[in-house]
Amino acid sequence: MRTSSLLIISMAILFSCKDEDEKPSHTFKNQNLSGKIGNTSWAFNDGYADVYGLEEESQVSVDLFQEAEDGEGCSALAKGNEVLFTLPNKVGLYTLKFELNDFENSVVVNLFEEEGYVNHLAPTGAIEILSISETQVSGRIDARIDDESFVNGNFTVNICK
């Protein structure tokens, strides 16, 4: 009887530890997308998305920026740091991962630092695309590298034609 009790307790501890280890790699904040890029404060103000490729395999490429030179949305040219990513053109949750030997299957957010043209590839967190219409993409991001390069929050951008 004592052995079976120990076995049950051991299994309960094992499964409770396993549940704690399987916490999601992201925690979305309900705020405008903001954070730091290269230890400089950054907040989403404008951007756009492009959709390309064949219907079933189409991709959505998103460019989010704080400042623009000339114009807004699709006619804007980004000025300063940017947040960029490309995903399948489908609503869903995409966990970030970087695989050097399998770059095609990697999912990363590029936190682009204009000064020095540095691409900080964030391999931790997630992107959730909440909606895609013919004219807009909405979602949320929790992407981070360290305390100097991270973003978290919501965005909506127009799709350029």
- Give the model confidence (pLDDT) of 105-119 as tens digits: 788 999 999 999 999
Each residue's pLDDT tens digit, 50-74: 999 987 889 999 999 998 887 777 8
pLDDT at 30 > cutoff 60: yes
Per-position b or e across 7-45, b if 16+ CB within 10 A of its CB = eeeeeeeeeeeeeeeeeeebebeeeebbbbbbeeebebb
